[in-house]
Every structure is written in structure tokens, then in C-alpha cells.
Amino acid sequence: MPARFCPSCGAELSAQARFCHRCGAPAGAASAATRTSNPERTAWLVASVVALALLGVIGWRMIKGTSTAPPPSMGNAGNVAPGGNTPDPGGNLPTGQAPDISALSPEERFLRLNNRVMTAASQRDSATVVNFTPMALGAYAQLPAPTLDDRYHAAVLNAQVGQFDEALALADTILDAVPNHLLARVVQGDVAELTGNTAALAAARTDFREAWDSEITQRREEYADHRDVLDDFRQRAGSN
């Protein structure tokens, strides 16, 4: 059979693949350039999410539970924006010129942009979220070998702007690598809760509870980085 390639990031796909193992895009989806090249479309998408009170709630709860303080695991802790910019006395991130990230590695670019978006989301700074989410997802698509933690962060970014199918596809890629991965269940559960899918929410919580004892002892680095997320979801799911 002829080789298949992801229309989003160009990664080579297996014959049976439904989603890209690198970026999580559906195998038959339009290219990433087509999906993200229209900033006005992205702006309207995020604006509708804000109107529904989703902006900042999904991503930050998945990163830090119900807290509004930036988590210590993020490289951009506090209210200092990437690139050394400082906020005004009101605590709002600046929405002006983007920091120069041209000299950074692909992984550093993704982490820097992700941190900026998540900090802005926690402060309900919709302008920064609109401006930087496509950039962060574009940086993710350039990663040569995304880690499970990278995929989790990309899933949060997608979910934050209402791209729930993309978020769930990335959760699937995590589960393909680690069938009982707890952060993938968190993504599935939070997306189900916010879309009103009670059956999927119950299933995600059950899977999370059943996997907890065996998975949490694996000492995965991403579990340590997001322990507050896991503890919050476990509490909401009901521990065994």
C-alpha cells in the first residue's frame, strides 16, 4: 500500500491509523495551515467560548485544579510574561508584540507559548489567548517527537478554545502509548463534563479510579508535574 502521511504535520502514518501519532489530527483532516491560517475564524471561535464561560476554566482546571494561581511546574510562574514583559498593576498580561522565540528549540518554543496562553487564560485575558493559542499549537506541530506531557498540554490548548475533538484525539494518542495514562483520563473527563456527555464523564472517572493504584506508582515525570491536577480530578471522580 502507498505510504500515508498526516495532512496536518506530515508525519508518516500506518495503514490503519485514524489519528496522527504525532499531533493527534484525524488522518483525513484538512491541513494545519488550512485550519489555523484564518486568525479571524480563530478569534470568533474563542469569543464564542468566552460567551459560554468556558475560556480559562477548562485549561486551568486541567493544569491546576480549581486554583487561580499559576502552578509551580510551569516555567512562567507568577504574572511575568514570557520574554521578560511585566504586567500592569492590575495583573493583566500584556497583549502587545510577541516575544522573540526564534532562537529557541522547538520544545522550548512550545513550552514558552503554552505557558503564556495558560497564564493568560487563568487571568481571563481573552486577547492573549486568541493571539497565542494558534501559535502554541503550531509550535506543537513542529515538535519532532512530542512527549506524553507535550500531548497533554496540546490537548488542554485545544480544549480551551472549544476544539474538543482534537483534544480527545490527543488523549487517544496518549492512551495508545500508555493504556491507563491518568492525564488522558483527565482530558476525557473534563471534555465530557463541559460538553454535557454524562456517559463519557462516568466512563472517564471509572477508568481513572481503576487505573490509579497501578499508574500512580509508576513515578512518571508528568504525574509529578501535574499532581495537583490528578488529585483534583481524583477528588471529583471519587477515590476508591
Residue 61's pLDDT is 46
pLDDT in tens, 160-169: 889 999 999 9
0.75 surpassed by pTM: no
Rounded Cα–Cα distance for residues 61 and 72 (Å): 15
| Higher per-residue confidence, 173 vs 129 | 173
Residue 2's pLDDT is 66
pLDDT in tens, 49-84: 443 434 444 444 444 443 333 323 223 322 233 333
Sign of the four-CA dihedral 61, 62, 63, 64: positive
Residue 42's pLDDT is 40
pLDDT in tens, 25-48: 677 644 433 343 333 334 334 444
Answer yes or no: are the C-beta atoms of 112 and 138 closer than 8 Å. no
Question: Could you tell me where the DSSP H helices lie in the chain?
Answer: 32-36, 39-51, 57-64, 106-122, 126-141, 148-160, 164-177, 182-195, 198-216, 221-225, 227-237
Average of per-residue pLDDT across 11-23? 71
The lowest-confidence range among 9-18, 110-119, 164-173, 200-209 is 9-18
Answer yes or no: are the C-beta atoms of 139 and 36 closer than 8 Å. no
Q: In DSSP terms, which residues pair with 19 in a beta bridge? A: 26
The lowest-confidence range among 5-14, 15-24, 61-70, 149-158 is 61-70
What are the residue boundaries of the structural domains of the chain, listed by start?
1-36, 38-237
| Higher per-residue confidence, 84 vs 2 | 2
Answer yes or no: are the C-beta atoms of 71 and 115 closer than 8 Å. no
Residue 187's pLDDT is 97
User: How many other CB atoms are there within 10 angstroms of residue 87's CB atom?
Assistant: 16
Residue 199's pLDDT is 96
pLDDT in tens, 163-221: 999 999 999 999 999 999 999 999 999 999 989 999 999 999 999 999 999 999 998 99
Q: How confident is residue 131, by pLDDT bands cut at 50, 70 and 90?
A: confident
Residue 130's pLDDT is 83
Helix (H, G, I), strand (E, B) or coil at 4: strand
